[in-house]
């Protein structure tokens, strides 16, 4: 049952007509997606998956095994669905289904006509403001075109056991899956921002992250202590711990809960977020053509550099020093080549 927000207030929310997904997409998301498209065999795998994933079959599965949200089924969710589509100015309001599942989860899937599936565990866990944040998050996936790659990831995971007999196929599939999983972790950071833009309530976003991390009642959780966990996690003081952190995220397709919470709260406090709510953001109809993958990889590199500079993680410091050394060596080689070419 959808409950009301703790505050009981319904503040007016700013509509964002024509907003481009580039307004909220995290630089590392765009960079990871650009890199993903360069993975050998990715285009061929995407084409193959598109061929055997039947759009109507995905929808029929939801129709036959879940409840479609509408005026007479989960009417509160239907109102939130339309509200979120209105705020983010989606051309069409995506269908939303509620499926039986104890784990709180949500996903946007579909190749041409994406739709959203929420589990009953999620609907029972969150209040109205939390569900608004989650629907905004999933609609962010729809607006960014992420649902295509998410569907691809899910179907490839289904295919993996049947292809393990062929070493070459298994290795190629593993490479594509690793790249897809790495990208999807970054895409989640983007769509947390979309959820924040939809709800325009950073406290509700944080409560949702707390509940998804294991909280039962946000009123019984020390929010400051929760955010300090993110600081503690990001500032481990040994290389061994840093390597363990890398191993922990290797096989998961979502960022870690405390990291997500800290990221979205930082963005909520940024000038970029305030400018969007004030109407200063890129629009879909006025956008210049995208210049390609190099621009996105460059933006991701700048974002990583800023993160490395601010991080107290010793392994991140090693990466930063290695990066400076490699960059310096590359500059030296390039300068030598140019001199020889000139002479």
Which H/E stretch holds residue 277? helix 271-277
Contacts of 80 (CB under 8 A, 6+ apart): 128, 131, 132, 135
Q: Pairing mode, if any, of strands 106-109 and 115-119?
A: antiparallel
Residues contacting residue 59 through CB under 8 Å, at least 6 positions apart:
95, 110, 113, 115
Phi, psi of 215, rounded to the nearest 5 degrees: -70, 145
For residue 116, what is the enclosing H or E element?
strand 115-119
Q: Which two tokens stand for residue 39?
A: 């993975």
CA distance linking residue 276 with residue 157, whole number of Å = 37
- CA dihedral (307, 310, 313, 319) positive or negative: positive
Q: What's the pLDDT score for residue 325?
A: 39
Expressed in angstroms, the distance from the first to the final Cα of the chain is 77
Torsion-angle region of 97 (φ positive above 0: left; ψ -120 to 50: alpha; else: beta): beta
187 class by beta-carbon count within 10 Å (0-12 exposed, 13-18 middle, 19+ buried)? buried
Q: How far apart are CA 166 and CA 74, in angstroms?
A: 46
- Predicted confidence at residue 175, as pLDDT, reads 67
Provide the residue-wise pLDDT of the chain in tens; the chain has 343 residues: 455 555 445 568 999 999 999 999 988 787 777 766 666 666 666 666 665 555 566 677 777 789 999 999 999 999 999 999 999 999 999 999 999 999 999 999 887 788 999 999 999 999 999 999 999 999 999 998 887 777 777 777 666 665 554 544 555 666 667 777 777 778 888 999 999 999 999 999 999 998 888 877 777 878 788 777 766 666 655 444 444 444 444 444 455 678 888 889 999 999 999 999 999 999 998 765 554 544 544 444 444 444 444 544 444 444 344 344 333 444 444 454 455 555 4
pLDDT of residue 110: 81
> Which distant-in-sequence residues (6+ apart) come within 8 Å of 97 by Cβ?
62, 63, 66, 67, 68, 69, 115, 116, 117, 118
Q: How many angstroms separate the CA atoms of 119 and 303, rounded?
A: 34
> What is the rounded distance in angstroms from the CA atom of residue 210 to the CA atom of residue 205?
9
**176 with 41: CB under 8 angstroms?**
yes
């Amino acid at each position: 049952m959808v409950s009301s927000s703790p505050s009981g207030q319904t503040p007016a929310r700013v509509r964002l007509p024509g907003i481009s997904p580039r307004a909220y997409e995290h630089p590392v998301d765009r960079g990871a997606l650009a890199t993903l498209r360069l993975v050998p065999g990715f285009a061929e795998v995407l084409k193959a998956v598109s061929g055997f994933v039947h759009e109507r079959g995905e929808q029929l599965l939801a129709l036959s095994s879940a409840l479609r949200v509408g005026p007479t089924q989960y009417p509160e969710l239907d109102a939130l669905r339309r509200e979120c589509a209105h705020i983010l100015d989606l051309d069409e309001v995506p269908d939303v289904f509620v499926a039986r599942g104890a784990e709180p989860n949500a996903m946007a899937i579909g190749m041409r006509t994406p739709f959203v599936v929420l589990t009953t565990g999620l609907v029972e866990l969150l209040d109205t403001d939390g569900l608004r944040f989650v629907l905004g998050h999933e609609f962010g996936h729809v607006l960014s075109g992420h649902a295509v790659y998410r569907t691809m990831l899910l179907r490839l995971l289904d295919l993996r056991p049947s292809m393990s007999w062929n070493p070459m196929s298994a290795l190629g599939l593993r490479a594509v899956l690793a790249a897809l999983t790495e990208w999807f972790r970054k895409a989640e950071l983007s769509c947390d921002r979309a959820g924040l833009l939809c709800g325009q309530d950073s406290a509700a976003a944080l409560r949702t992250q707390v509940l998804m991390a294991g909280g039962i009642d946000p009123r019984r959780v020390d929010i400051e202590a929760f955010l300090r966990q993110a600081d503690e996690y990001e500032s481990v003081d040994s290389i061994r711990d840093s390597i363990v952190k890398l191993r922990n995220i290797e096989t998961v397709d979502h960022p870690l809960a405390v990291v997500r919470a800290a990221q979205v709260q930082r963005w909520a406090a940024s000038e970029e977020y305030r400018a969007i709510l004030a109407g200063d953001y890129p629009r879909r109809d006025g956008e210049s053509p995208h210049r390609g993958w190099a621009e996105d990889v460059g933006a991701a590199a700048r974002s990583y550099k800023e993160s490395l500079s601010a991080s107290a993680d010793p392994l991140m410091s090693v990466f930063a020093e290695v990066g400076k050394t490699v960059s310096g060596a590359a500059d030296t080689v390039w300068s030598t080549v140019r001199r020889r070419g000139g002479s």
